[in-house]
Amino acid sequence: MATQIYSPWTTCFRANPQAALRLFCFPYAGGGTLIFRDWSSNLPDSIEVCAIQLPGREKRLSEPAFSSLDRLIPILTEAIFAAFR
């Protein structure tokens, strides 16, 4: 299956829109979404692995990074819900 970008916030390396479960993965400090690219091959097909791409990182480098989780969480939550409705 192909990589799917549902929104600027998420990259799913083995897209499965009919997945029973989506596993949202956050890169470690200094890491990027590519660390999760092979995870799907080690999980059942019913699980879609979606890496979170934060502003200020990788393809979103030109966007200002968040310095506060209190500000990030509500925006990220809404972005995820909007992308997977």
Q: Which domain holds residue 79?
A: 4-83
Q: What is the pLDDT of residue 30?
A: 82
- Give tens-digit pLDDT for 52-66: 999 999 999 999 999
| Mean pLDDT for the stretch of residues 39-61 | 93
Name the percent of the chain lying above pLDDT 90: 68
Q: How far apart are CA 71 and CA 84, in angstroms?
A: 21
Domain total in the chain = 1
Helix, strand, coil fractions of the chain, as percent rounded to 5: 30, 20, 50
- Considering the chain, what is the average pLDDT of its residues? 90
Q: What integer pLDDT is reported at residue 22 of this predicted model?
A: 93
Distance CA 72, CA 22 (A): 20
How far is CA 81 from its chain centroid? 12
Per DSSP, the chain holds a count of helices (H) and strands (E) of 1, 4
Per-residue pLDDT, averaged over 44-53, amounts to: 94
